[in-house]
């Protein structure tokens, strides 16, 4: 059975790339010194690895988890206009973080999905799992099943928010997740919006902003974005972006400095643009 699952995962993998263990083997000309503990840059279309650092190291992934949460919700084809109440259970599950959503708020499932992706709202992600047919345990089982389906062999989920450090993956696996998530138009839209105002019931509303400030930067052309942070994971960032006309997937894990993941992303952008300018015309 294990061999059958392995073969299936290889067939359906959206990023069937052999990742270089040594970044020097994958890099183009020039030096790219990233501060993130694990990093991967891969051409989305050509499947060529541009940079790889500790891509098979298993690490906590924090709210990068929410990309899988979104895939499971969309796979189930649940009505996005159905209204869901935030419960005390959702608040308890996300007690480690601040949230502007309160028990009793009534929000459409589609808006919960948008808040979970754009603003990394933990109570929104918790409510999505709780309201799933069969509840949270069935939802988490679906997350792990989807990971196997995508060939994410070193990935494990225990909750929908990423607040647990037991949600783990590798840069290699997360590139597959980003590719799968990018195939969903709603995920592309929800992860790259600047701000959004959501109705929470009784005529009240709240406005939220994107947790990745790069989506507001006119120098970036970002097609998908997700940030993550818990102390055990450091600061994480995954993106799909077009740099120097090349669509790429970027995975940055365990960046401990507050601005390190943004700095690494900008270093990657300048590095790709610099190397692209050296290519001979024609």
Here the CATH number for the domain that contains residue 136 is 3.40.710.10
Q: What is the pLDDT of residue 240?
A: 98
Catalytic one of 23, 36, 53, 63: 63
Residue environment code for 20-36, b if the CB has 16+ CB neighbours within 10 A, otherwise e: beebeebbeeeebebbb
Label residue 206 exposed, middle or buried (CB < 10 Å: 0-12, 13-18, 19+): middle
Sign of torsion over alpha carbons 27, 32, 35, 36: negative
In a domain, 282, yes or no: no
List the structure tokens of 281: 């015309």
Active-site residue among 23, 36, 66, 160?
A: 66
- Counting the structural domains of the chain, the total is 1
β-bridge partners, 196: 208
Taking only the tens of pLDDT, the chain with its 282 residues reads 444 444 434 333 434 444 444 443 444 445 789 999 999 999 998 679 999 999 999 999 999 999 999 999 999 999 999 999 999 889 765 556 678 899 999 999 999 999 999 999 999 999 999 999 999 999 999 999 999 999 999 999 999 999 999 999 999 999 999 999 999 999 999 999 999 999 998 889 999 999 999 999 999 999 999 999 999 999 999 999 999 999 999 999 999 777 789 999 999 999 999 988 655 444
Distances (CA, A) of 185 to 13, 46, 181, 190, 276: 19, 21, 8, 9, 29
13 noted as active-site residue: no
Query: Do the domain assignments include residue 246?
Result: yes
CA distance 245 to 230: 33
Catalytic residue list contains 120: yes
Whether 168 is in a domain gets the answer yes
Q: What is the DSSP letter of 88?
A: H
> Which among 24, 23, 22, 19 has a CA at the least distance from the CA of 48?
19
pLDDT at residue 1, rounded to an integer: 44
Return left, alpha or beta for 33; rule: phi > 0 is left, psi -120 to 50 is alpha, else beta. beta
pTM assigned to the model: 0.88
Residue 169 lies inside a defined structural domain of this protein: yes
Question: Of the listed 23, 36, 120, 225, which one is catalytic?
Answer: 120
Question: Is 63 in the active site?
Answer: yes
- Answer yes or no: are the C-beta atoms of 206 and 224 closer than 8 Å: no
pLDDT given for residue 275 in this prediction = 87
Q: Which H or E run includes 91? A: helix 88-93
Residue 241 falls inside a structural domain: yes
Asked if residue 129 is part of any domain, the answer here is yes
Helix, strand, or coil (residue 249): strand
Task: Give the integer Cα–Cα distance in Å for 65 and 47.
Answer: 23
Residue range(s) defining the domain that contains residue 202: 2-277
Distances (CA, A) of 228 to 149, 159, 254: 23, 14, 10
């Amino acid at each position: 059975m294990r061999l059958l699952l392995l073969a299936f995962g290889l067939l359906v993998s959206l990023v069937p790339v052999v990742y270089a263990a040594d970044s020097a083997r994958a890099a183009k000309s020039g030096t790219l010194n990233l501060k993130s503990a694990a990093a991967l840059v891969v051409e989305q279309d050509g499947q060529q690895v541009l940079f790889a650092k500790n891509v098979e190291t298993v690490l906590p992934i924090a709210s990068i988890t929410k990309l899988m949460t979104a895939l499971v919700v969309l796979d189930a084809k649940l009505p996005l206009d159905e209204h869901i109440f935030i419960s005390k259970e959702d608040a308890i599950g996300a007690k480690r973080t601040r949230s502007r959503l309160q028990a009793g708020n009534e929000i459409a499932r589609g808006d919960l999905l948008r808040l979970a992706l754009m603003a990394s709202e933990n109570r929104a992600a918790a409510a999505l799992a709780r309201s799933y047919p069969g509840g949270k345990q069935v939802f988490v089982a679906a997350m792990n099943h989807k990971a196997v389906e995508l060939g994410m062999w070193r990935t494990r989920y225990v909750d929908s928010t990423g607040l647990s450090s037991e949600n783990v993956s590798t840069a290699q696996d997360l590139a597959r997740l980003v590719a799968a998530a990018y195939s969903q138009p709603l995920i592309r839209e929800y992860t790259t919006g600047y701000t959004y105002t959501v109705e929470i019931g009784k005529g009240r509303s709240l406005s939220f902003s994107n947790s990745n400030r790069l989506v507001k930067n006119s120098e970036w052309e970002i097609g998908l974005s997700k940030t993550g942070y818990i102390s055990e994971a450091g600061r994480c960032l995954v993106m799909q972006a077009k740099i120097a006309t090349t669509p790429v997937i970027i995975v940055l894990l365990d960046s401990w400095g507050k601005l390190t993941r943004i700095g690494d992303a900008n270093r990657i952008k300048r590095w790709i643009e610099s190397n692209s300018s050296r290519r001979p015309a024609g």
